[in-house]
Amino acid sequence: MLNGILRKVAGVVAVAGGAAVATAGARYVGSKRINAAERLGQALLDDTRLEEASQLTSSESEAALAACAAYLINVAHQSAAGITGPPTVDAIGYERKVSNDKSRAVATVITTAHEPEARWQFDVDFPGVAHVNGSRRLISSRFAGPKVHMRTPDTVSIKFDNGYFASIESDMEFNGHLLNVKGPRTQVYGSASLSDNRGNVGRLKIESNGNVSGTVTRGSEIIGRFEGSLSDGLTFQQYLAS
C-alpha cells in the first residue's frame, strides 16, 4: 500500500511514500482462495488519498488528479495483494457490501458476469468527501510457473462533494507468487489514463519492476510529472508558475 501524505516542498507533491506492501493479514501461504469482490470492496474503502485530493481541488487541481491516481494504484495493489491462485467469485447478480465503521464509508460490489471474463460493478460512498463508482474486469487468470498472472482493467469515476470530478481508466496486471520470494510477493504493473473537469489530462505507467512514470498536462503544457517507484515511493512534481 502506498502510504505517503500529500505535501508540497519546493514544488514537489508526494502522492505516495514508503514500501508498497499489503495490509496486515494479507499475506497468504500456498494457493488460498480469496473472494475477489470482498477484496475489491475492502481496497476501495481506503480514502486517505481522496481526503488529500479534496483539499487540493480548488487551488491545485493537477495535484488532486495525482492523488486520485494514487488512490487507484492503492486499490489495484490492495485488491491483488496476497492472491496466489484464481480468486473465487460471487454468483451473478450478488450484491456484496463492505463498510468502514470509522469513516462510515460503504462499498457495494455487484458481480455481473463470469464468462468469458468475470466482471464487477462497484459503488462507494465516502460521506462528506466523494462518491466513487466504476467497473472492473478480470480478463485473464492463469498460472505461469510458481505464480498466478491476472489482468484487471478498471474504469473509475470520482465525484467530490465540492464539485470536482475525475475519471480514470486503467489496465493493470499483477503476478502473485506461490512461493516465498525475495521482495514483494505481489507485483502490480500497467498503465492508467486520467482526466478531470478542470482541463487536466494525465498518463501513468507502472513498469514490471515497480518504477512509475507519467505526466499531467493542461492543453499542450506539461504541468506535473510522476516519478519514483512502488517500493521507494512515488512523487508528483508540479511545475509551478513563477
The top-level CATH class assigned to 8-238 is mainly beta
Cell numbers at 171, concatenated: 489496465
Residue 118's closest CA among 90, 80, 83? 90
pLDDT value of position 12: 46
Question: Which is more confident, 11 or 206?
Answer: 206
Can you give 74-121 as a three-state secondary structure string?
A: HHHHHHHCCCCCCCECCCCCCEEEEEECCCCEEEEEEEEECCCCEEEE
Q: What is the pLDDT of residues 28-80, one digit of tens each?
A: 333 446 888 999 999 999 999 999 999 999 989 999 999 999 999 889 888 87
Cβ distance 39 to 85 under 8 Å? no
> Which pLDDT score, from 0 to 100, does residue 62 have?
95
Asked if the bond preceding 116 is cis, omega within 30° of 0, the reply is yes
pLDDT recorded at residue 190: 94
What is the DSSP secondary structure assignment for residue 1, as one 8-state letter?
A: -
Confirm if 232 and 42 have CB atoms less than 8 A apart: no
Over range 209-222, report the average pLDDT.
93
Model confidence pLDDT, tens digit, residues 118-148? 899 999 999 999 999 999 998 865 555 556 6
The mean of the pLDDT values for the chain is 80
pTM to 2 decimal places: 0.83
The gap from C-alpha 105 to its chain's centroid, in whole angstroms, comes to 17
Name residue 56's amino acid. L
What is the predicted pLDDT for the residue at 77? 83
Confidence at residue 179, expressed as pLDDT on a 0 to 100 scale = 45
Query: How is residue 196 written as a grid cell?
Result: 478531470
| Structure confidence at residue 15 (pLDDT) | 52
The winner for highest mean pLDDT among 12-16, 20-24, 74-78, 185-189 is 74-78
Give the start-to-end residue ranges of the domains of the chain.
Answer: 8-238
